Structure 1
Amino acid sequence: MNKTRRLAILSRLRANDPNPTTELVYTTPFELLIAVLLSAQATDVSVNKATVKLFPVANTPAAMLSLGVEGVKGYIKSIGLFNSKAENIIKTCRMLLDHHHGEVPQDRAALEALPGVGRKTANVVLNTAFGWPTIAVDTHIFRVCNRTHFAPGKNVEAVEQKLLQVVPKEFAVNCHHWLILHGRYTCIARKPRCGSCLIEDLCEYKEKVYG
């Protein structure tokens, strides 16, 4: 896909949704970090159902730590992999208190050193909580970028690097949200909704589906 077409796609997505954000419900960087940790292999809807009960009880590292692993499990047991996630949350809270004064660090290396936090999670936190121009590539974004030919790549790392190369700075902060929402609601996996797609005429997918 050429530069002109990419720019047209981004401009159209921005016009349609000027201020996109995550569908995870949070009020602080710490809440966002916990929500993203819980969202691995889970839907945002399921995470929000759990955190709406968890965060009023524990929305700081100290409060979460006081719940303990079993206490956290009680709130997140409806989410997949809740056992390991509860353990990672408690370990993460302990590290935040021991090494970062209870604050979520605005540093990639420090974030990725936290238990359960990989590059994708760090990207989401840096982008959504702190406004960094990072682009976290999940299955939705990977699919959209390859299907449309916007930023094709063999794996999520390759797609992320391609996006960082081709997305102009003015679109970089919001690009992650536009692409994930597009993949979640329009360019869906099994049967893309090409007939109602905002960028259908700009997309280079050869097997478009109508009706």
Structure 2
Amino acid sequence: MNKHKRHEILSRLQAQNPKPETELHYNSPFELLIAVLLSAQATDVSVNKATAKLYPVANTPETLLELGVDGVKSYIKTIGLFNSKAENVIKTCRILVEQHQSQVPENREALEALPGVGRKTANVVLNTAFGWPTIAVDTHIFRLSNRSKFATGKNVDEVENKLLKNVPKEFKLDVHHWFILHGRYICTARKPRCGACLIEDLCEFKDKTSD
């Protein structure tokens, strides 16, 4: 995969979707942070269903703290790993109140210090809420990057580093969203829809399908 192919891939994805957005529903950096924290090993659809009921009741660190762990659980029990996620939500809210004036910090180290927030979640928040050119590598991005040979790596860190190195500056802000959406709906895990793919001729995947 050379730089000319990569540039053309990104140009086509940009032309198809000039202003991509996350499919998680949120109205503030805090709502986004909690939604991303809840989305680990869960679908965005399941998270949105839960937060649609939770956020009208509690959408700030203080109001979530008032709900408590059991209160949060009652809203997110349809999401996988809801017990540990509820604990992390409450712990995170407490830290935000006590250490960050109830605001989501625009700082990688501070974000990654929050319970349940790893590098991927921090990258999503920094990119989507604050406009940083970070690239969060989830399962969709990892699969698409390796399958297409756009950025190969044995783990998410290797893929992230290669993407940061090989994605031109003008595409860095949006590539995270383009790749997630493409991996979610076109370059799917079990059987990629190569016949419906706008970058099929540029992709270096050997076992392409006709669908």
Equivalent positions of 1:146-185 (< 5 A) are 146-185=146-185
Letter in 1 for 2:47: V
d(CA) in 2 for partners of 1:100, 1:175? 30
d(CA) in 1 for partners of 2:50, 2:24? 11
Letter in 1 for 2:118: G
Letter in 2 for 1:188: T
Letter in 1 for 2:99: H
Question: Displacement of 1:149 after TM fit?
Answer: 0.3
d(CA) in 2 for partners of 1:201, 1:186? 14
Structure 1 partner of 2:35: 35
Question: Displacement of 1:71 after TM fit?
Answer: 0.3
Letter in 1 for 2:193: R
d(CA) in 1 for partners of 2:133, 2:47? 25
| Unmatched segments (≥5 aa) in structure 2 | none
Structure 2 partner of 1:81: 81
Letter in 2 for 1:83: N
How large is the RMSD of aligned CA atoms in angstroms? 0.4
Deviation sequence 1:70-106 (CA, Å, 0-9, x none) = 0000000000000000000000000000000000000
| Unmatched segments (≥5 aa) in structure 1 | none
Letter in 2 for 1:65: L
Deviation sequence 1:152-197 (CA, Å, 0-9, x none) = 1011110000000000110000000000000000000111000010
Structure 2 partner of 1:71: 71
Structure 2 partner of 1:10: 10
Structure 1 partner of 2:55: 55
d(CA) in 2 for partners of 1:8, 1:43? 30
Structure 2 partner of 1:140: 140
Letter in 2 for 1:17: N
d(CA) in 1 for partners of 2:59, 2:190? 37
Structure 1 partner of 2:19: 19
Structure 1 segments of 4 or more deviating over 2 A? none
Structure 1 partner of 2:203: 203
Deviation sequence 1:7-47 (CA, Å, 0-9, x none) = 00000000000000100000000000000000000000000
Q: TM-score, normalised by structure 1?
A: 0.99
Question: Displacement of 1:66 after TM fit?
Answer: 0.4
d(CA) in 2 for partners of 1:198, 1:96? 43
Structure 1 partner of 2:128: 128
Structure 2 partner of 1:109: 109
d(CA) in 2 for partners of 1:69, 1:169? 42
Query: How many residues get paired?
Result: 211
Letter in 2 for 1:61: P
d(CA) in 1 for partners of 2:58, 2:164? 36
Deviation sequence 1:123-156 (CA, Å, 0-9, x none) = 0000000000000000000000000000010111
d(CA) in 2 for partners of 1:191, 1:124? 27
Question: Displacement of 1:5 after TM fit?
Answer: 0.2
d(CA) in 2 for partners of 1:135, 1:129? 13
1:188 and 2:188 matched: yes
